[in-house]
Structure 1
Amino acid sequence: MVVARHYISDGMLAAYASGNLPHPFALVVAAHVSMCEDCRVALEAHQTVGGAVLETTEVVNVSSELKNNILALLDDPVVATPVFRSSGVYPEPVMEVLKGQQPQWKKLGAGVKQSILSNDEQGSVRLLYIPAGQAVPDHSHGGLELTLVLQGSFSDETGHYGVGDVEVADENLDHTPIANAGPDCICLAATDAPLQFSQFLPRLLQPLFKI
């Protein structure tokens, strides 16, 4: 069990509990909750409240269109139920996606690697491997980005993030994350829009790397 200093927000936990988070963000939340006891307790509280609301809500007839839309959601990817990990770098929800195997890394340059777990209309979620002392090119965001540290740590303009911490970045943040000294940094990152790099070369390679 780790002691996180940067948590998932209460509003995002409530959205996860109600099933309203897109799959990429839901996976990051599940992984964080599996590592952070405080957020696990908060999530269980949201689930308890949600269950009580369902039990007291009156039955309402819905249209056939709405019913079909709800049934279609059954085809969406399912995020594993958060459980406390026992060992290793990758939390159980991530290992579920990896099917128990190690990530298939692809080089991005300067020792940085990624393993894409999913990439579709809902957004993308990937594992990032950043050698100690290496920086990710300066970038801003076209939407929301959640980054969970699984190993090592990184720092940027907003502070220091260690194992179990989550950085929430949006259109207002322009930053240059740098992996700190010590173990190489491994992160789980989810986005709902492409990153916006300030340098020419990363922008040129962006379609190839699907970032």
Structure 2
Amino acid sequence: MSKDIKHHLTDDLLMAYAAGTLPEAFDLMVATHLSLCDHCRARAESFDAVGGHVLEEQADAASMGSEALAATMALIAQGAPTSKPARPACSVLPAPLQDYVGGDVNAIRWRPIGMGVKQAILPTTREATARLLFIPAGAAVPDHSHNGMELTMVLQGAFSDEVDHFARGDVEIADEDLHHTPTADISEDCICLAVTDAPLKFSKLMPRLFQPFLRI
């Protein structure tokens, strides 16, 4: 799978992920992509290593308090955490997403948003929004631009727009400069994870009218 991924995350996103400064929705996107992409996972691990070295070098690092040992022993006394049920070997949703959905695709609570397109908004903090999108084969998301950043990762099928073609594991990074019309390949329904830190800017009237109700 990883060798087939052509569109990766940026160093800025990976460094922010390592530093713990991303909104929850963007954290979910990065974790989901890393679960499929060996290339980005290796880069992320290198940033983690750098961060760990910096912490070790901090001369003013706080020493452990006298209560630290007692707190650690109390955690040990609670026993090992309950193991989670095994996930299916072949699944559309990578492990980080299954934890949010409570299973694979059949557990998603889809809501129609028009023209056969469906969405499921995931529970994250308010700084950004994460949603799963279902786009029927050959269908298009209404043309739009962006008020902020939008990351879209393909989980099933593929889509094309004015930029390129995106298949499973690929992430498209869109900002205020991109105006596009993502269209699912005719061969298969497309399922994506999309995260945004600001509402989209739709060109046509009808999507703009329904936008507040759909939280897009």
- The residue aligned with 1:45 is 46
User: Is the CA contact (8 Å cut-off) linking 2:133 and 2:194 kept in structure 1?
Assistant: yes
User: Is the CA contact (8 Å cut-off) linking 2:24 and 2:125 kept in structure 1?
Assistant: no
The alignment partner of 1:115 has SS state of strand
Aligned in 2, Cα 1:86/1:55: closer, same or farther, shift over 3 Å? farther
Aligned in 2, Cα 1:119/1:40: closer, same or farther, shift over 3 Å? closer
User: Is structure 2 residue 127 aligned with structure 1 residue 122?
Assistant: yes
CA distance in 2, matches of 1:43, 1:86: 24
User: Is structure 2 residue 184 aligned with structure 1 residue 176?
Assistant: no
Runs of 5+ consecutive residues of structure 2 not aligned to the other structure: 63-87
- The residue aligned with 1:112 is 117
User: Is the CA contact (8 Å cut-off) linking 2:161 and 2:183 kept in structure 1?
Assistant: yes
The alignment partner of 1:29 has SS state of helix
Aligned in 2, Cα 1:59/1:99: closer, same or farther, shift over 3 Å? farther
Aligned in 2, Cα 1:187/1:93: closer, same or farther, shift over 3 Å? same
CA distance in 1, matches of 2:103, 2:54: 36
Aligned length: 188
CA distance in 1, matches of 2:59, 2:176: 40
Letter in 1 for 2:98: M
- Cα deviation, 1:1-40, whole Å, max 9, x if unaligned, reads 3421000011211110110111111101100000101111
CA distance in 2, matches of 1:87, 1:58: 47
User: Is structure 2 residue 164 aligned with structure 1 residue 159?
Assistant: yes
Q: Once superposed, which parts of structure 1, at least 4 consecutive aligned residues long, lie more than 2 Å away?
A: 118-121
CA distance in 1, matches of 2:61, 2:43: 29
What displacement does 1:119 show?
5.6
Q: TM-score, normalised by structure 2?
A: 0.83
Letter in 2 for 1:89: V
The alignment partner of 1:125 has SS state of strand
Within the candidate set 80, 100, 103, 1:100 is matched to: 103
The alignment partner of 2:59 has SS state of coil
Letter in 2 for 1:47: D
- The residue aligned with 1:67 is none
Runs of 5+ consecutive residues of structure 1 not aligned to the other structure: 62-84
User: Is the CA contact (8 Å cut-off) linking 2:157 and 2:168 kept in structure 1?
Assistant: yes
- The residue aligned with 2:93 is 90
Q: TM-score, normalised by structure 1?
A: 0.85
CA distance in 2, matches of 1:37, 1:8: 12
What displacement does 1:100 show?
2.6
The alignment partner of 1:146 has SS state of strand
User: Is the CA contact (8 Å cut-off) linking 2:116 and 2:135 kept in structure 1?
Assistant: yes
What displacement does 1:118 show?
2.8
The alignment partner of 2:92 has SS state of coil
Letter in 2 for 1:112: V
CA distance in 1, matches of 2:46, 2:124: 31
What displacement does 1:99 show?
2.4
Structure 2 counterparts to residues 15-26 of structure 1, below 5 A: 15-26=16-27
- Cα deviation, 1:124-164, whole Å, max 9, x if unaligned, reads 00000001110100101010000000000000010100000
Letter in 2 for 1:164: G
User: Is structure 2 residue 5 aligned with structure 1 residue 4?
Assistant: yes
Aligned in 2, Cα 1:45/1:120: closer, same or farther, shift over 3 Å? closer
